[in-house]
Amino acid sequence: MEGGGRLYYAATEGSWLLEAPCEECAGFVLDLRVSDPTEQSTARARADSYLRHVHRIACAGCESLERRQTQPPAGEGVEVWWDAASGEWLGATLVDGTSVCLPLGVRTYWARRDAEAAASLLLERGVPVRVAAHPAECEPEAHTIFYDVPAGSWALRTACPDCGGCDIRLIARGRGSVARACEQAQGCVERIATTECPNCRTLRERSVERDPDGPPALWFDTVLAGWVAWMPVEDGGVTLPVGLTRFDVNERQLLLAASGLQL
Ligand SMILES: [Zn+2]
Ligand SMILES: [Zn+2]
């Protein structure tokens, strides 16, 4: 293997790993993010490319040690770097003159853009949304966006201690539109913060005993992935889709669409 690296499959991690050698820092282990044990050739290609184009120029292990020993010189904006010791991207910025360093929750080395987007959300806007390079990297305690490969679009996995959260489809399509996905996720998280968890609401609305003379109800149904309205009719009631699927739709548009439903 190029430069004396060692490639192996770790069943405990469920992934191919590369041991990158270094005389200075004694080396480090890089998760190649190839989960199939039979995909050795893919893992090898990734490992070779990393050793040849990145590791030979600068050792991430040495860089991480240096970053840890000296406070990162965070100037304007956010600096991100791969921390070889913890195996995730870190971000640093200046908050009131103090350098603040935070893990970004992105554990795929090849997802630098995701890490940068996560950094700007976390550190610049202070929005508690994380960016995961892979759905498996979503953490149950933080709102996280991830790229849904089969759907070809980004999704927000919400965090909720009561129902466990849900996935909300975002309109940002394509892997590269992470900044747009962050924007929209921010709107969704703000709506959750000012109202309530849409999944808890859905569970409640779907199980409630309704009074046929009661008032209509309007909610984002996480099962149908769209806004729905319940309206009383003779001897009962009906639930109808409003025709809007964006959770962060603006209030006026929502009310207009709902008021257009006539029975
Ligand atoms: Zn090193
Ligand atoms: Zn909930």
Cα(164) to centroid(ligand 2), Å: 6
137 with 150: CB under 8 angstroms? Answer: no
Q: Do residues 89 and 181 share a domain?
A: yes
DSSP 160-191: -TTT---EEEEEEESTTTHHHHHHHHHHHHHH
Strands 153-157 and 143-148, sheet pairing = antiparallel
**According to the model, what pLDDT value does residue 34 have?**
93
Residue 91 lies in a domain: yes
- Predicted confidence pLDDT, tens digits, the chain (263 residues): 777 899 999 999 899 999 999 999 999 999 999 999 999 999 999 999 999 999 999 999 999 888 877 665 556 677 888 999 889 898 887 766 667 777 787 889 998 988 888 887 776 666 667 788 778 878 788 889 998 989 999 999 999 999 999 999 999 888 888 888 888 998 899 899 889 999 999 999 999 988 888 888 999 999 999 999 998 888 788 899 999 999 999 888 888 888 887 65
Q: Are residues 75 and 98 in the same domain?
A: yes
147 CB burial (10 A radius; 0-12, 13-18, 19+): buried
The structure's pTM equals 0.65
**What is the spatial distance between Cα 133 and Cα 139, in angstroms, rounded to a whole number?**
12
Domain hosting 109: range is: 71-194
Q: Which amino acid, one-letter code, is at 51?
A: L
As for how many domains the chain has, the answer is: 3
Nearest-angstrom CA–CA distance, 223 and 231:
19
Alpha-carbon distance 117 to 144, whole Å? 12
Cα(152) to ligand 2 centroid in Å equals 26
Residues 82 and 159 in one domain: yes
Q: Under DSSP, is residue 260 helix (H, G, I), strand (E, B) or coil?
A: coil
Please state at what angle helix 178-194 crosses helix 112-119, rounded to 10 degrees. 40
Does the residue 148 lie in any domain?
yes
* Among 145, 134, 126, 147, CA closest to 188: 145
Is 199 a member of any domain?
A: no
In which element (H, E) is residue 92 found?
strand 88-95
Q: Which ligand is nearest to the CA of 65?
A: 1
pLDDT at 126: 63
- Residue 158 sits in the same domain as residue 249: no
Q: Are residues 102 and 187 in the same domain?
A: yes
For residue 163, which ligand has an atom nearest its CA? 2
Is 157 inside a domain boundary? yes
Ligand 2 geometric centre to CA of 159 (Å):
7
Please check whether residues 32 and 98 belong to one and the same domain. no
What are the φ/ψ torsions at residue 249 (nearest 5 degrees)? -60, 150
Exposure letters 222-244 (e unless 16+ CB within 10 A, then b): beeebbbbbbbeeeebeeeebeb
| pLDDT at res. 218 | 93
Q: Are residues 102 and 173 in the same domain?
A: yes
Question: Closest-lying ligand to the alpha carbon of 200?
Answer: 2
Q: Which ligand is nearest to the CA of 22?
A: 1
Helices (H), 195-250: 198-207
Distance 1 CA to ligand 1 centre (A): 18
Task: Let me know whether 85 and 156 are in one domain.
Answer: yes
Does residue 66 lie in a domain region? Answer: no
Q: What is the 110 CA–ligand 1 centroid distance (Å)?
A: 19
Question: Which two tokens mark 12?
Answer: 């405990």
Residue 215 Cα to ligand 2 midpoint, Å, equals 24
Statement to judge: residues 186 and 217 lie in one domain? no
DSSP structure class, residue 32: -
* 231 & 176 share domain: no
How many A from CA of 54 to the centre of ligand 1? 12
The pLDDT of residue 75: 65
Expressed in angstroms and rounded, the spacing between residue 24 Cα and the centre of ligand 1 is: 5
- Distance in Å, CA 95 to ligand 1 centroid: 30
Nearest to 132 by CA among 64, 184, 92, 182: 182
**Does residue 247 share a domain with residue 167?**
no
* 203 C-alpha to ligand 2 centroid (Å): 9
Alpha helices in 70-197 (DSSP H): 112-119, 178-194
| Ion ligand 1, residues whose Cβ is below 5 A away | 22, 24-25, 59, 61-62
Q: Report pLDDT for 71.
A: 61
Q: How many angstroms separate the alpha carbon of residue 180 from the centre of ligand 1?
A: 36
Ligand nearest to the CA of 21: 1
Same-domain check for residues 145 and 183: yes
Say if 84 falls within a structural domain.
Answer: yes
